């Protein structure tokens, strides 16, 4: 295929780059994963990924191997896309996989190659990658580029193909030209490419995630205030989001952010900043507020029963940190369920996709067949993840199945007035509950009269 080259990579980006017409070889050390991929099985849950992988494998543009050295015979570029989890104990990004991959790549290099970091890595990691390669292979020229990805789980393919921007961090002209070629289909679709320095690109990724995490935490705290003063957080979000300087996205109040990126990246940026003697107080607050919030959601449930949850059965709908993924990492459901159990409640749970993952980390939970099985004889139901199927529950059926019609909706998928009609005691986020007399807290204020 004209303009196609070989690229070594192993993730959603790899499949999407193959879909652009390039040749991609995905490399992973995990034999089981690679055998599964070669047998047509996708090891992660990502809507649309299986089709894109199958069609590109069929057309001979995408393949999988555990042998890195073979792939570098023809590759013009190598993407490092390994995980950078939080390091145990101190919250710094664990770069051991990145550096292990770098050493392997260095030893396998055949000629000038562009080495591109897609993994989220702290500022300065690209410098270290370059140093390692030059030390191990002084005979080979390389360009090391930072090219962070901004893909959301569950929407990764859409995000890859419709990016708000592509960030390319390098001053090497050869590398810039190659990245422009790789992303040409997106560029033709007018996705802006931000060419910048490597360190700046590395920081852009963290700053983006940290800013979005801050925005969510901000609206979550506004939601708490709304509950106390009798305001509606969704209308506040709409009212401020219409200001173009603020924007409407990432203003959905909820039980706190989770997932594999925001919590870990906020932590890592705080650590990097501290190392450089630049404390990030806003982010420190974001981290603490968000951690505390997830567990505090259990109090929303217990307050309906005047704090007495012992012996009650709580049905939890949604275990993943958000819909369209099987990922339960740092999901609000985990802290919430543990807190409910600590208060003496029995927990039944249902999630369309995430139950297998949840079983590995949650004990003493009764996993159910579907939402209706889950709510049977429950004293309260809590919506934790806004899966599409929880937005369209047969509410009469839910109410009749429950021992007590109490719903705590942590994603505001229902409207309080509708829930009242169905006879639920309904509590949500940043809106007044339907079941309690309104207790408005009036702050003291003064009026300045303008004459």
Which residues form the interface with ligand UDX (CB under 6 A)? 149-153, 209, 212, 216, 250-252, 254, 257-259, 261-262, 321-322
Q: C-beta of 319: minimal distance to ligand UDX in Å?
A: 12
* Least distance from ligand UDX to the Cβ atom of residue 261, Å: 3
Nearest-angstrom CA–CA distance, 324 and 341? 27
Q: Which is nearer to ligand UDX, 62 or 251 (CB)?
A: 251
Contact at 8 Å (CB) between 24 and 18?
yes
**Cα dist from 141 to 7, 68, 114, 125, 138, whole Å:** 17, 19, 9, 18, 8
List the structure tokens of 68: 């890195």
Nearer of residues 262 and 305 to ligand UDX, judged by Cβ: 262
Contact 340, 397 (CB under 8 A): no
Whether 10 is catalytic is no
151 versus 186: smaller Cβ distance to ligand UDX: 151
Q: Which is nearer to ligand UDX, 54 or 260 (CB)?
A: 260
Minimal distance in Å, beta carbon 262 to ligand UDX? Answer: 5
CB of 383 to ligand UDX, least distance (A): 12
Is the separation of the CB atoms in 68 and 105 below 8 Å?
A: yes
Give the chain's count of helices (H) and strands (E).
Answer: 19, 14
**Catalytic residue chosen out of the listed positions 10, 16, 26, 261:** 261
Q: Tell me whether residue 183 or residue 257 sits nearer to ligand UDX (CB atom).
A: 257
Shortest distance (Å) from residue 429 CB to ligand UDX:
10
350 contacts 284 by C-beta, under 8 angstroms: no
User: Cβ closer to ligand UDX: 149 or 326?
Assistant: 149
Residue count (the chain):
451
* Residues 429 and 412: beta-carbon distance below 8 Å: yes
CB atoms within 10 A of CB 400: 11
Under DSSP, the state recorded for 292 is H
**DSSP 8-state secondary structure symbol assigned to residue 318:** -
Q: Go through 17-36 and write b for each residue having 16 or more CB atoms within 10 A of its CB, e for each that does not.
A: bbbbbbbbbbbbeeeebbee
Shortest CA distance to 62 belongs to which of 118, 119, 13, 3?
A: 13
Report the residue number, 14 or 258, with the smaller CB distance to ligand UDX.
258
Side-by-side strand order, sheet with 313-317: 365-367, 346-350, 313-317, 380-383, 406-409, 425-427
* Least distance in angstroms from the C-beta of 419 to ligand UDX: 21
> Do residues 109 and 72 touch, judged by C-beta distance below 8 A?
yes
Closest approach, Cβ 327 to ligand UDX, in A, equals: 8
> How far apart, in whole angstroms, are the C-alpha atoms of residue 153 and residue 213?
15
The catalytic residue positions are 261
């Amino acid at each position: 295929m004209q303009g196609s080259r070989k690229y070594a990579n192993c993730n959603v980006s790899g499949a999407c780059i193959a879909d652009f017409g390039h040749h991609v070889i995905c490399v992973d050390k995990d034999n089981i994963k690679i055998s599964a991929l070669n047998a047509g099985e996708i090891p992660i849950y990502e809507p649309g990924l299986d089709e894109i992988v199958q069609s590109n494998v069929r057309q001979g543009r995408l393949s999988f191997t555990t042998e890195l050295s073979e792939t570098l015979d023809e590759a013009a570029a190598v993407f490092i896309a390994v995980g950078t989890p939080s390091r145990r104990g101190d919250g710094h990004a664990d770069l051991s996989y990145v550096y292990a991959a770098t050493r392997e790549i260095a030893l396998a290099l055949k000629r000038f190659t562009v080495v591109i970091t897609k993994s989220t890595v702290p500022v300065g990691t690209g410098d270290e990658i370059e140093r390692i390669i030059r030390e191990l292979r002084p005979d080979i020229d390389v360009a090391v580029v930072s090219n962070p990805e901004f893909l959301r789980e569950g929407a990764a393919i859409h995000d890859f193909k419709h990016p708000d921007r592509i960030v390319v961090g390098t001053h090497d002209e050869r590398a810039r030209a190659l990245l422009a070629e790789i992303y040409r289909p997106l560029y033709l679709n007018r996705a802006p490419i931000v060419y910048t320095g490597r360190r700046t690109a590395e920081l852009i990724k963290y700053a983006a995630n940290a800013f979005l995490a801050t925005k969510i935490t901000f609206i979550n705290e506004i939601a708490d205030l709304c509950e106390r003063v009798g305001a509606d957080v969704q209308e506040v979000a709409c009212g401020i989001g219409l200001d173009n300087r603020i924007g409407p996205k990432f203003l959905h109040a909820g039980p706190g952010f989770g997932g594999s990126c925001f919590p870990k990246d906020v932590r890592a940026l705080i650590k990097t900043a501290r190392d450089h003697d630049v404390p990030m107080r806003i982010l420190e607050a974001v981290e603490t507020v968000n951690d505390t919030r997830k567990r505090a959601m259990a109090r929303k449930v217990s307050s309906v029963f005047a704090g007495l949850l012992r012996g009650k059965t709580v049905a939890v709908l949604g275990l993943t940190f958000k819909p369209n993924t099987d990922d339960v990492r740092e999901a609000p459901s985990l802290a919430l369920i543990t807190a409910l159990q600590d208060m003496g409640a029995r927990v039944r749970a249902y999630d369309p996709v995430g139950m297998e993952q949840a079983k590995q980390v949650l004990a003493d939970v009764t996993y159910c067949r579907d939402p209706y099985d889950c709510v049977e004889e429950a004293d309260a139901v809590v919506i934790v993840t806004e899966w599409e199927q929880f937005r369209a529950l047969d509410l009469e059926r839910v109410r009749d199945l429950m021992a007590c019609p109490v719903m705590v909706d942590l994603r505001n998928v229902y409207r309080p007035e509708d829930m009242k009609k169905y006879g639920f005691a309904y509590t949500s986020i940043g809106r007044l509950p339907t079941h309690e007399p309104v207790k408005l807290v009036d702050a003291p204020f003064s009026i300045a009269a303008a004459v």
